[in-house]
Structure 1
Amino acid sequence: MKLPSDIELFELVDKLSLTYFNKHFIDKVYFNTRLRTTGGRYLPSKRVIELNPKYVLESNKEEFYGIIKHELCHYHLHIEGKGYKHGDRDFKELLKATGSPRHCSPLPSQQREYRYKYQCIQCGFVYKRVRKVNMRKYRCGKCRGSLKEI
């Protein structure tokens, strides 16, 4: 999927808003290239939705639409004066009603590469680590068993 222009992005957000919320989106939406670990954000003080352009380029259309729907949940609840934050009941109910995701999946370019894998000898739990672990010093956090490198 290629990066849409600002006008195309606004039209897409407005279309999704009408489809899932039966309300027009009348404020601003744009791409913010400085976003790294989040798919998007809603700024209530400015009534602006910022979206991460990497999700358009690296993920599929459904993932990107899910991010837009999530931010529209924040937007419409804020406009209506209801609880628009992640912990609010109104927000959780609207997410469920519109089929919006609670969190977006990590970008393929942002996923960590684990160099070391350790497995507990007793319970079999696998630990993934970037840094090497001293297996004589550390044990399994679940059952206190010894670790082996796999």
Structure 2
Amino acid sequence: ERREDIPLLANAFSRDICERYGMALKRFSDAALQKLRGMDWPGNVRELRNIVERLVIMTPQSTIEADQIEKGAGEPRPEFDNLLSRGGTFQDFKDRAEAAYIRKQLDEHGWNISRTAEALDIQRSHLYNKMKKFGLTRGDERES
């Protein structure tokens, strides 16, 4: 009902979530906040918080953009639920999430290391190290 409160709430939720998980602060771009403001929120504040949490956890960059809202605000995906249900420490979860995200980016860029590293905003050597750490190889469909 009070759409003007959505930017304040989204940023406050992001701060709380980042603090709780020991993550660097993530902010929403103006376009992302506009996108959130234009969405329907049948679950009200609880639904907004759930989506912000999903976006904060699954977005590697420090700024959440509008296109990530579309990807993160849909129905929960089985792969995300699988990441959450496997247990372990928070570091185990972050490693599984990072491996899944890198695998998705590699697939989207045809396993072109240069383009994938650029999309992830990391050096190619860093991407190679992460691929080795998580055992990511082309055609590998297993979960890390």
TM-score interval for Structure 1 and Structure 2 normalised by the shorter chain: 0.3 to 0.5
- TM-score, structure 2 length as denominator? 0.35
Question: With structure 1 as the length reference, what TM-score do the two structures score?
Answer: 0.34
Larger RCO: Structure 1 or Structure 2 (Cα < 8 Å, ≥ 6 residues apart)? 2
Which has more strand, going by share of residues?
A: 1
Higher-Rg member (1/2): 1
Which structure: greater helix fraction? Answer: 2
